[in-house]
Structure 1
Amino acid sequence: MDGYGVTLSNLVPLTVIKGAGHEFVPLPNGENATLADFYSIRTKTESPAHFTSGFYKIEAGPQRPAHYTFEEAKYVLSGQIDILDEATGVTHHLVPGDFAFFHVGTKVKFSTKSQGFAFYAVTRPVRTPHPNLQGREEKAKL
């Protein structure tokens, strides 16, 4: 048993998604933004919930409104993503290395003057399965 109360008999292997890069996230025809969920689980914590992660991609075009009914953490990887917080009226200009947390009840509008790409983790089930990552999942065998 290790210092965390874990024994070899109850270890669970990690899951790896190979090639989960921005080049695999196409924008739908006629759209300037998209979500690309790539992995989701039902957690095994005290209060089970869904935990999903993926990528957000946006290019110049109309603002994209979002009203959150779940929590989300977003980390900008490239470009710039502008987020108008409707609660405060402040527009935040996120660049690589910036992080934003969206609470239940947050209402925003996303935009960019060029393009932006971010990783996100949310407490909801998969909405938009990532079509280009099928077959890239690696699971170790114990």
Structure 2
Amino acid sequence: MRKILIIAFFLMSLLGINSAFAKTDIEYFRLDQPPSVIELAFLRELGQSILETMASYGDNHLFEFARIEKIERNRENDFYDVSLRVISFEGAHSPPYKLINITFRIPPGLPSEKYKVISNKAVISYKVQSITPEEVDKLSKFTN
């Protein structure tokens, strides 16, 4: 019986140690309500980087309805991966519309040929899809 208690105590202490030293934290942003002031401020700071990233991928358009979807903090390597979405448009806020998802790594870390570095941010991911005006209305519902 004593051996079982010692083994159980040892296993429980290992679980406690491992959970205390998590290497990443992830925060998801609620997209079904208006953005917070901190989200709006961060998006304003990222605005030029978003435009430069879009241009570097051949999307020379403007954007609106930006939202941060999640931020992942890597404690071990001290960087943040910020995933966001924007809706790009041509002309006077008119179609064609594109939903653009970008993930920036801030700071970019060591130079890597794997990622583009734009405005001192590494572009980890860049995805584009065409969307309809109805989808724009749905995605922009809480951004006004």
- Compute the TM-score of the two structures, normalised by the length of structure 1: 0.30
- Larger RCO of the pair (alpha carbons < 8 Å, separation 6+): 1
**Structure with the bigger percentage of helix:** 2
- Compute the TM-score of the two structures, normalised by the length of structure 2: 0.30
